[in-house]
Amino acid sequence: MEEDPATSTSYGSNFGQIAGTIASQLPRDPHTKWDPGAQFISQRETDPNNDSEETYDKILEWISLCDQEHILCCPEKPTPLPTRVIDVGQRDTTHDPRLHVSSPDDYHPYLALSYCWGAAQPVHLTSTNLEEMCDRIDMSDLPKTLQDAITVTRQLNHRYLWVDSLCIVQNSQKDKAYEIDHMADVYRGAYLTISAAKASSCDQGFLQSQPLTRHNKNRHPFARLPLLYGDVELGRIVVEMDTYSTDPDEPIYSRAWTMQERLLSRRQLIYGYDALIWKCRTSTWGWKTWTRFCFEKPLVESLGMPSTEMVAASRAEYSKQVAGELSLCKNPDYGKHGKQRTAGWPYFLEYWHNIVCLYSSLKLSEYTDKLPGVAGIAAEVSHLSDATNISAGRYLAGLWEADLPRQLLWTVTYRSKPETGPYRAPSWSWASTAGNSYARYPFVIDEYLSQPAAQILECSTTPLHAGAPFGQVKDGFLKIKARLVKGTSMSEDLLSRTANLLSGNFVVITNHREFCQMDLFDSAETARERALASWMAQLGDCCGLILEKVVPGEQLFRRVGIFHSETTSFPDVEPSVFTII
């Protein structure tokens, strides 16, 4: 007979209180309820079955609590359905799902799926099968992850589900560009996002029962131990170190596309290797195979977003506080000191720096997707900018006009070899590189750019697809007025040895040392030749861009790196006007 946890005893009042609370919040593993140790330890191992009635009851409890108590997690107003959604039917339906084409007055709650595609999708929406899918989608033909998402949607009493492969016309570049550019609306508007974190491909699924072992190389091992009173064994207990976090080794956290899906979502239900976690804008709840609770800051906070304490009681108050901070930018003394600059710099621009740093370190199958893969977040940043009445300016191939020239001073973290391929972005954009391409140097943030030395005269990009301003671009240019100096070498031997040692970094000698870092991985000889032919454009007091001429005799350049100097650069050089493409 199972002992009632409400009347059970525990070792130590504090431990007993914690264990009792946890036990009252979480499901029980039926395999351990008969253990005699249950009368002493009220906490139970979690049922590893993600598809059990008990699990769905707990998820519904989380949803109810969030709906009732979390003002930040609920939409300000009803949100319309996306262009297309999957109609999964009622909870106990035996019918196949079908594609639903939404009308402008379709206002219904819907769920969204975030997952890794892996291999090519066996079933996807095209212009030729759209009508057929509006009539019926054969459930048995769908990959396991999509089947599981439909099951969860039904069990949570919802009718509509958004899945990219089934709701975006995959053979229409126009439709893909439009839907990707509106990704922020899809995930921000979703009632809940299902995250198939542990599945590396769409055919793996995520509802299968979890083994009672640690997946990740036993980084946090557990042990079954006897519960002893003297020499008498009263039962068995399980001891494990808690990690208080999701597993960064889960496939979904390595993919660039899925980053914006979790950042934009108001609420996530995360199916991990050995964890089921609820994460919303206010709280994180969940249980693991062994450990019951998981406490951690929402992901947006870890990226530098405002904390829930700062947000206070309502969105109106939140907007008021953000606007107050952003108004510091209008102060004529703003930016003269590093600390003041950091404290008052617009939130949305700080978000962007943090987001791009993380995003550019993640995996993309196609590097032409660099801008589309972050388009949803760019749209959200633009929305935040408009809401605070302080404009971030135009979105220019991954950079914001209001933060130029600072955002021009990105640097690659892992250099890639020069390559030919489809056009990605202008050379002055981090999206132009193939590798992990963005990081900020401290000198860029603080005193080295405290005295701007360049004037942006004109900057423009052309979207590849009309109606998708945050997606791919087909060209772009930057017209700038700045001091421009040709790099020369005091010692070719020094230059060659430095380039060889640092694999693309080198030192150029003008009237003093300029420390340079290139965007591409070159051989020592190529780096030496590039250094001798380079031009240096001063953007800040002691930093700027390394350029190379596109056409001899013309003031047309492309970016190839950045530099910073030991002292103020080029004080005796008159500014000139030139263009970077």
Reported as a single tens digit per residue, the pLDDT across 196-237 is: 999 999 999 999 876 544 444 444 556 777 877 778 777 777
Between residues 49 and 98, the one the model is more confident about: 98
Highest mean pLDDT among 6-10, 254-258, 362-366, 383-387: 254-258
Cα separation, 470 vs 458, in Å, equals 19
Alpha helices in 70-172 (DSSP H): 130-135, 144-155, 164-167
> What is the per-residue pLDDT for 91?
87
User: By mean pLDDT, which of 306-315, 423-432, 484-493, 565-574 is the weakest?
Assistant: 306-315
Q: 506 and 528 in contact (C-beta within 8 Å)?
A: yes
Report the alpha-carbon distance of residue 465 to residue 288 in Å, rounded. 44
Helix, strand, coil abundance in the chain, percent, nearest 5: 30, 20, 45
Is the model more confident about 450 or about 134?
A: 134
- From residue 234, how far is each of 3, 40, 294, 297, 337 by CA, in Å? 14, 9, 29, 39, 66
Instruction: Determine the length of the chain.
Output: 581
Is residue 398 left, alpha or beta, with left meaning phi > 0 and alpha meaning psi from -120 to 50?
left
- DSSP letters spanning 67-95: HHH-TTTS-SS-----SEEEE---TT--S
**Tokens 């971030």, located at residue:** 392
DSSP 416-431: B-----S--S-TTSGG
Best CA proximity match to 381, nearest among 350, 356, 348 = 348
Q: 133 Cβ partners below 8 Å, 6+ apart?
A: 98, 99, 125, 166
- Round to whole Å and give the CA distance between 155 and 150: 9
Chain centroid to CA 394: 21
Stretch (H or E) spanning 109: none
Enter the tokens of residue 116: 């890794």
Overall average pLDDT of the 536-560 stretch? 89
Q: Which phi and psi (to 5°) does residue 235 adopt? A: 160, -160
Determine the pLDDT at residue 337.
Answer: 34
Query: In degrees, to the nearest 5, what angle opens at C-alpha 131 toward C-alphas 127 and 133?
Result: 95
What 3 state SS string does 329-374 have? HHCCCCCCCHHHHHHHCCHHHHHHHHHHHHHCCCECCCHHHCCHHH
How many whole angstroms separate alpha carbon 270 and alpha carbon 337?
A: 42
Q: How far apart, in whole angstroms, are the C-alpha atoms of residue 396 and residue 35?
A: 63
How confident is the prediction for the chain on average, in pLDDT? 75
- DSSP 8-state code for residue 3: P
The secondary structure of residue 282, as a DSSP letter, is S
φ/ψ region of 514 (left if φ > 0, alpha if ψ in -120 to 50, else beta) reads beta
Whole-angstrom distance, CA of residue 116 vs CA of residue 253: 10
Instruction: Identify the weakest region by mean pLDDT among 1-5, 448-452, 495-499.
Output: 1-5
Of the candidates 130, 144, 71, which has an alpha carbon nearest to the alpha carbon of residue 99? 130
Whether residue 558 has pLDDT greater than 70: yes
What pLDDT, in 10s, does the model give residues 361-398?
Answer: 888 888 888 999 999 889 888 887 777 677 788 999 99
pLDDT at 312 over 50: no
**For residue 426, cis peptide bond before it (omega within 30 degrees of 0):** no
Exposed, middle or buried by CB within 10 Å (0-12, 13-18, 19+), for 489?
middle
- For the chain, domain boundaries: 1-44, 69-208+247-302, 308-580
User: 304-333 burial, b if ≥16 CB within 10 A, otherwise e?
Assistant: ebbebeebeeeeeebeebbeebbebeeeee
Task: Give 224 or 476, the one with higher predicted confidence.
Answer: 476
**Distances in Å between the alpha carbon of 285 and those of 245, 256, 266, 306, 580?**
10, 25, 14, 20, 49
Predicted confidence (pLDDT) at residue 130 exceeds the cutoff of 90: yes
Tell me the sheet residues that pair with 478: 459, 580
Q: How confident is the model at residue 463 (pLDDT cuts 50, 70, 90)?
A: very high
Indicate the DSSP class of residue 575. P
pTM reported for the whole predicted model: 0.77
